[in-house]
Amino acid sequence: MKSRAFALSVALFLVLLSIPAAVSAHGLGITHVRSLNFGYMRGAPGTYSPWKTGLVIFKADRPVKVTFTAEPFRYVGEDSTEGGTLDVTYWVGHKRNAFKPGTALKLQFSQEQLEKAKGAMTLEVSGEVKIHEIHGQPAGPYEGSITVTITAA
């Protein structure tokens, strides 16, 4: 049994279906991504905020739908057979735009919103991890992923 005194190191990566170098011929595309990172957590019961928030910047010349989905936040240490997932909630911009692994957040941006942002929308991705108890939770690295999909509305 591993000691629970070690810090949990966790990172969350924004995974994109495609990261174009420039905006596509269809007038929309992701131009910048920064991963959400929870850094190191003590592993004690409590609620943990990210060390660094995530960021998605995209350009669009027409109204779009942006969908966020997430995979579970899993233990990926040396003995991954020990299992272990953390209770994580993500949100985009505000907590009212929250989603958890297994659910989707769908946002829509109008032509007016895009024009106000000069065609380049910046979305901040944040979240929190809740550790309820340490029993059965291995100490070590945890990883998860968020998928961002942008389509014309």
Dump pLDDT digits (tens) for 65-86: 999 999 999 888 877 666 678 8
Please give the mean pLDDT across all residues of the chain: 82
Could you confirm whether domain 8-152 is CATH 2.40.128? Answer: no
If one counts every other C-beta atom within 10 angstroms of the C-beta of residue 89, the result is 17
Residue ranges of domains in the chain: 8-152
pLDDT for 115: 93
Report whether 23 contacts 29 (CB < 8 A). Answer: yes
Confidence of residue 15 (pLDDT cuts 50, 70, 90): very low
For residues 124 and 91, give the distance between their C-alpha atoms in angstroms, rounded to a whole number.
8
